[in-house]
């Protein structure tokens, strides 16, 4: 009997320990972990540098209130700003808190310039921005909001890729457009660079803000530190989380100077957000994953892996419909429901995770080795052959 509520349909596997790209189950089976805690374990399990930094910091100081200065947080915020478009950072503990804070920052900015009615956020229908009460209504998904009414007002929706409906939905009360640069849960849907450029142009024209949710696709997962960088677009606000903590819960919002001007003392806060223990780990992850050589390697192994996956798709066109994604945020879209496929991968000791549109999501640690990718390719080929 489990005393945990039944809000998850958990697989009947538990793990004793992890090392690099591998997880070892309590009943002695070694799995290749290409779920990586859903894009969280950017450096795999038990990375020695992360162990070292958490050990060292845990002996010094775990937590102080944000009522005081926190040098470890100052250090990480500086690194994030120097690496990105951002001028300022607010630390949180999770992705959904980061997206909520992003919404607050957008609204507060217009409030602070005397336009409090400009408060509506325009999002993609059936996207994913987290599970808090506002974030589920931002997603516009029936499944996620059912039973959680009353509806939180202030969100409008357009269909992915439908430029006409996007333009039509902007009105005088729109404060911001918020989209994931690469939709994760929605099925690894990449917004092309020309669309990101178009979004920025549209936001400038309408004098509204652009929020790019990089909770899943950010922190080097796409092969660039932030996934939108390739497009040369500069957003106003970017929530991040997952990969920056490498397994330690950290969320953050990156923002430019303009919008940060509304965030005066008392407008936002978090008890745990940015505590020294979290920041020590975050600094170590940041130093490793933002390095140019590290990023080049993500691109290199990704090119190899995507090429090989496309070969498998060409061999099994009746099973695989499309290979999606960028960097190490990859989706194998199947023609049919992916449950059997994922279970067969598990039986062959490869862990992946589902996404919408029949997608099998593949999220290896960013420091994955070529031989581990080859092992996964072999398993995927075997499963395709079994299902043929
Ligand atoms: C794009 C995006 N935004 C927000 C979230 C919510 O993050 P968390 O589960 O840490 O609250 C997720 C989680 O998967 C996500 O993928």
For 279-334, the pLDDT digits (tens) are 999 999 999 999 999 999 999 999 999 999 999 999 999 999 999 999 999 999 99
CB atoms within 10 A of CB 271: 9
Q: Around Cβ 188, how many Cβ atoms within 10 Å?
A: 28
Atom of ligand 1 nearest to the CA of 180: 1
Q: Give the position, in ligand 1's atom list, of the atom nearest the Cα of 183.
A: 1
59 Cα to the center of ligand 1, angstroms: 31
Q: Could you tell me if residue 160 is inside a domain? A: yes
Range of the domain at 223: 64-289
d(CA 234, CA 184): 21
Q: Among 260, 289, 318, which residue terminates a domain?
A: 289
Mark whether 272 and 344 lie in a shared domain.
no
Instruction: Please answer whether residues 219 and 229 qualify as being in contact, where contact means their C-beta atoms are separated by less than 8 angstroms.
Output: no
Would you say residue 306 lies in a domain? yes
Tell me what pLDDT residue 355 has.
98
Residue 30 belongs to a domain: no
Q: Strand, helix or coil at 377?
A: helix
Say what the pLDDT of residue 126 is. 95
Query: Do 277 and 298 fall within a single domain?
Result: no
Mean pLDDT score of the chain: 98
User: Mind listing the pLDDT tens digit for each residue in 35-62?
Assistant: 999 999 999 999 999 999 999 999 999 9
Residue 8 belongs to some domain of the structure: no
Q: Which of 268, 289, 310 is the last residue of a domain?
A: 289
Same domain? For 204 and 343 the reply is no
Reported as a pLDDT band with limits 50, 70 and 90, residue 383 is very high
Structural domain count of the chain: 2
70 plus 166 within the same structural domain:
yes
Q: What residues are in contact with ligand 1 under a 6 Å CB criterion?
A: 38, 94-96, 99, 128-130, 180, 184-185, 213, 215-216, 241
Do the beta carbons of residue 34 and residue 376 sit within 8 Å?
Answer: yes
Asked whether residue 384 is assigned to any structural domain, the reply reads no
Query: What is the pLDDT at residue 125?
Result: 96
Q: How far apart are CA 368 and CA 365, in angstroms?
A: 5
Q: Looking at ligand 1, which atom is closest to the CA of residue 96?
A: 11
How does residue 102 score in pLDDT terms, banded at 50, 70 and 90?
A: very high
Q: What is the reported pLDDT for 227? A: 98
Identify whether 33 is part of a domain.
no
φ and ψ at 207, to 5 degrees?
55, 45
Which atom from ligand 1 is nearest to the alpha carbon of 213?
1
* 206 shares a domain with 78: yes
CA of 38, closest atom in ligand 1 = 14
Q: Round the CA-based radius of gyration of the chain to a whole number and report it.
A: 21
Same domain for 70 and 197: yes
How far, in Å, is the centroid of ligand 1 from the Cα of 16? 26
With vertex at residue 43, the alpha carbon angle to CA 76 and CA 376, rounded to the nearest 5 degrees, is 150
Q: H-type helices in the chain, by residue range?
A: 36-39, 48-60, 71-83, 95-112, 133-139, 142-145, 163-169, 193-206, 257-260, 276-289, 292-315, 339-347, 370-387
Cβ(344)–Cβ(245) below 8 Å: no
Residue 345 included in any domain:
yes
How many other CB atoms are found less than 10 A from the CB of residue 291? Answer: 13
Which amino acid residue places its CA nearest to atom 13 of ligand 1?
130
Atom of ligand 1 nearest to the CA of 184: 16
Q: Are residues 170 and 204 both part of a single domain? A: yes
Per-residue pLDDT band for 154 (boundaries 50, 70, 90) equals very high
Asked if 306 and 275 sit in the same domain, the reply is no
Whether 103 and 218 share a structural domain: yes
Residue 11 falls inside a structural domain: no
Domain-ending residue, one of 239, 274, 289: 289
Distance separating alpha carbons of residues 29 and 19, to the nearest angstrom: 13
* pLDDT category of residue 234 using cuts at 50, 70 and 90: very high
Best mutation site among 128, 181, 214, 363 for ligand 1, i.e. most ligand atoms within 8 A of its Cβ?
128
As a whole number of angstroms, the distance between CA 300 and CA 150 comes to: 48
Q: How far is CA 107 from the centre of its chain?
A: 23
User: Are residues 72 and 57 in contact, defined by beta-carbon separation less than 8 angstroms?
Assistant: yes
Q: Which residue has the CA at smallest separation from atom 3 of ligand 1?
A: 129
Other Cβ atoms less than 10 A from the Cβ of 29: the count is 12
Supply 85's token pair.
């478009």
Whether this prediction's pTM lies above 0.85 is answered by yes
Q: How many other C-beta atoms are found inside a 10 Å radius of the C-beta of residue 251?
A: 28
What average pLDDT does range 69-92 have in this prediction? 98
Residues 195 and 310 in one domain: no
What CATH number has the domain bearing residue 118? 3.40.640.10
Pocket test for ligand 1, best of 130, 248, 270 (most atoms within 8 A of CB): 130
> Do 253 and 341 have their domain in common?
no
For residue 97, report the distance from its CA to the centre of ligand 1, in Å: 9
Three-state DSSP at 345 gives helix
Residue with CA nearest ligand 1 atom 4: 129
User: Residue 83: what pLDDT?
Assistant: 98
Probe target for ligand 1 pocket from 216, 254, 272, with the most ligand atoms within 8 Å of CB: 216
Average pLDDT over residues 27-40: 98
Residue whose CB lies within 8 A of the most ligand 1 atoms, among 8, 39, 42, 95, for a mutation test: 95
**Mean pLDDT across the stretch 122-139?**
97
Pair (300, 256) in one structural domain: no
Query: Which residues, listed in sequence order, are joined to residue 240 by a DSSP beta bridge?
Result: 252
């Amino acid at each position: 009997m489990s005393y945990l509520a039944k809000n998850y349909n958990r697989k009947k596997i538990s793990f004793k320990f992890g090392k690099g790209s591998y997880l070892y189950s309590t009943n002695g089976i070694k799995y290749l972990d290409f779920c990586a805690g859903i894009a969280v374990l950017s450096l795999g399990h038990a990375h020695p540098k992360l162990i070292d930094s958490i050990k060292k910091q845990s002996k010094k100081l775990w937590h102080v209130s944000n009522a005081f200065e926190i040098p470890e947080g100052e250090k990480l915020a500086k690194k994030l700003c120097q690496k990105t478009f951002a001028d300022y950072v607010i630390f949180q503990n999770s992705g959904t808190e980061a997206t909520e804070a992003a919404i607050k920052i957008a609204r507060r900015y217009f409030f602070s310039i005397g336009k409090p009615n400009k408060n509506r956020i325009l999002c993609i229908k059936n996207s994913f921005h987290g599970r808090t009460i506002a974030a589920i209504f931002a997603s516009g998904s029936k499944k996620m909001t059912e039973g959680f009414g009353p509806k939180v007002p202030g969100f409008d929706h357009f269909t992915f890729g439908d430029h006409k409906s996007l333009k039509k939905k902007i009105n005088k009360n729109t404060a911001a457009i918020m989209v994931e640069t690469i939709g994760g849960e929605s099925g690894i849907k990449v917004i092309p660079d020309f669309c990101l450029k178009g979004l920025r142009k549209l936001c400038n024209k309408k004098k509204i803000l652009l929020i790019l949710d990089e909770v899943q696709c950010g922190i080097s997962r796409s092969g660039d530190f932030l996934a939108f960088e390739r497009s040369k677009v500069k957003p106003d606000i970017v929530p991040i989380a997952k990969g920056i903590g490498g397994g330690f819960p950290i969320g953050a919002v990156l923002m430019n100077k303009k919008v940060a001007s509304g965030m005066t003392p008392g407008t936002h806060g978090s008890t745990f957000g940015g505590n020294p223990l979290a920041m020590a780990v975050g600094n170590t992850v940041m130093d490793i994953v933002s390095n140019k050589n590290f990023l080049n390697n993500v691109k290199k192994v990704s090119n190899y892996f995507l090429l090989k996956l496309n070969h498998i798709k060409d061999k099994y066109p009746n099973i695989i419909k499309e290979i999606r994604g960028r960097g190490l945020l990859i989706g194998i879209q199947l023609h049919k429901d992916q449950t059997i496929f994922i279970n067969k991968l598990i039986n062959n000791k490869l862990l992946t995770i589902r996404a919408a549109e029949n997608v099998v999501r593949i999220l290896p640690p960013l420091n994955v080795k070529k031989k581990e990718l080859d092992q996964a390719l072999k398993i995927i080929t075997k499963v395709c052959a079994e299902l043929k």
